[in-house]
Homo-oligomer: A and B are copies of this chain.
């Protein structure tokens, strides 16, 4: 279709997945590269997706007692250094502020790469008694990590995210909150983003700097690579001891608090693209689509067409749908291709003949299925269709995850599974870091997580043959 070419010129996935991703990101108008190396401009079409992600996730946070706040963006070097593992993890990749105005600072500040140290410093001042617990705070902000190689949404020097930081009286409370927030992420990803994930615990090697346990939700992209979509960390009392955060218990003794942190970022937009997109562009799940339905008039200069299109737009808006009307002077074919590229879940085609018959044509983005429908019934029909699309997208993504998750009972099967990147491989592991490192070196795959849903595939580790402790998801990852 020549008109389609005009709009998009998206490289096909099978030809070059990396180029396909870049094409979609740019041509759907999600970002623009900036002149600040490694940083991107999030354009209105991209930012509107982020706003919907924020809305849905923030409502889920508030439903489980999370309160929002805002901490400074700077961390003095001495503060960053208070927790040993943490500073080792982050110091090599932070941006340093050395001058304020015309003066050199007496101590340099880094721009936050994450805010554990700031929240600890804050909690030290706020928490005195068991009555001050729990503290369940979150902030929406940007963070900076001085990455060398960057890709839009997946890895950039500055990115947007939320970071939750909590403090609890007991180890049990902290662990329960850590898992609760992981579940919030998993539910949000499945129900709002239509992205199924594997929930599990990270290995010691892959856990967060300073955590006693890190949990993750891992998603599978179209190209068979994994993407860590969210993480939740249990810190035990490690940070509390480093920062001296104690409370007087009901027993009148001083106790250290137990802490957690958890976060998701604009990376999720990368996952959205790579889980749902196709060769025509973006495919947005209705709950996260800034425009859920676009009305495209056919022969819009013919009498009555624009009136009918405008009336339909108003009726759809009144039904609380997010609607746009494409009344530009482009051809209908161009507009169809643009709707597909931008991933709007439904388009409605409406021309003189349709109007005469009191009909319009609904076209689903995900399946391209066309349905005729009386104009007056369009709002109800579209609302139902959006629900169906949301459900179908999750089912398709789940089917892709299932069909691209392989089982390897031994070394040969493991090797065969990773001869090419096709997806996740479930395999038994002895629990030794040495095997994990050897697997990474030999097959260029990493442990994604140790899933909560364990299976017994064999008695022995696929790497060393010693007795197996866990079943692990392995894969190449973004």
Contact = CB atoms under 8 A, between A and B. Distances in A.
Interface of A: 32, 34-36, 39-44, 46-48, 50-51, 67-76, 79, 92-102, 108-109, 111, 118, 121-122, 125-126, 137, 141-142, 144, 146, 157-158, 160
Copies in the complex: 2
Contact of A69 (B47, B71, B98): B47
Query: Which of A71, A118, A141 has the most CB atoms of chain B within a 10 A radius of its CB?
Result: A71
Given A102-B92, A122-B41, A34 B71 contact: yes
A73 B122 CA distance: 24
Contacts of A74: 36, 39, 95, 158
A44 B69 contact: yes
B96 A32 contact: no
Contacts of A121: 34-35
Contacts of A48: 67-68
Contacts of A79: 35
A101 B146 contact: yes
30 contacts: A32-B126, A34-B118, A34-B121, A34-B122, A35-B79, A36-B72, A39-B72, A41-B69, A42-B69, A42-B70, A44-B68, A44-B137, A47-B70, A48-B68, A50-B70, A51-B68, A70-B160, A73-B111, A74-B95, A74-B158, A92-B101, A93-B101, A95-B97, A95-B100, A95-B101, A96-B99, A97-B97, A97-B98, A97-B111, A99-B108
Given A51-B68, A68-B44, A142-B73, A96 B95 contact: no
Contacts of A141: 142
Contacts of A94: 101
A72 B40 contact: yes
Contacts of A95: 74, 97, 99-101, 109
B96 A97 contact: yes
Nearest to A135: B44
Contacts of A35: 76, 79, 121
A72 B34 CA distance: 8
Given A34-B71, A35-B121, 20 more contacts: A32-B125, A34-B118, A34-B121, A36-B75, A39-B72, A41-B70, A42-B70, A44-B67, A44-B68, A44-B69, A47-B68, A70-B160, A74-B95, A92-B101, A95-B97, A95-B101, A96-B97, A97-B97, A97-B98, A97-B111
A313 to B, nearest CB: 16
Nearest to A42: B70
A96 to B, nearest CB: 4
Which 9 pairs across A and B sit closest by C-beta, in order of nearness? Answer: A39-B72, A44-B67, A100-B146, A96-B99, A42-B70, A101-B146, A36-B72, A98-B98, A95-B97
A126 to B, nearest CB: 7
